[in-house]
Structure 1
């Protein structure tokens, strides 16, 4: 998914992100603001994931999103 699309739809996606990764706090979601690299870092921090695993989880999440 294009980074610009994630940023433009962030308000709508926050709920889905929170549902998928419940360890992310509201402050985390505010900090992320649709930035894929920040989301990746927060997943590493909160879930103890390796960088490549966090990136793979995000890719999987993005692929499951409805296309507009």
Structure 2
């Protein structure tokens, strides 16, 4: 799945994102709105990841979908 598809299906993927990252709030997931950079930024804030680590996590999650 690529990011264009993710953005188009974000409403359906929000629950999966919340399952993957339990520290994200509903507001965090809605705010990200399928934007890779925003989602990675929230992961950095909530989990204390580096930018690169957060981006790798997001990419890995999308690859599994």
Structure 1 length-normalised TM: 0.90
Cα deviation for residue 30 of structure 1 reads 1.3
Runs of 5+ in structure 2 lacking a partner? none
Question: How many pairs does the alignment contain?
Answer: 65
CA distance in 2, matches of 1:60, 1:2: 12
8 A contact 2:14–2:29 mirrored in 1:
yes
Aligned to 1:17: 17
CA distance in 1, matches of 2:34, 2:11: 8
Structure 2 length-normalised TM: 0.94
Runs of 5+ in structure 1 lacking a partner? none
Cα deviation for residue 61 of structure 1 reads 0.4
After the TM superposition, which parts of structure 1 deviate over 6 Å for at least 4 consecutive aligned residues?
none
Question: Pairwise CA RMSD of aligned residues?
Answer: 0.8
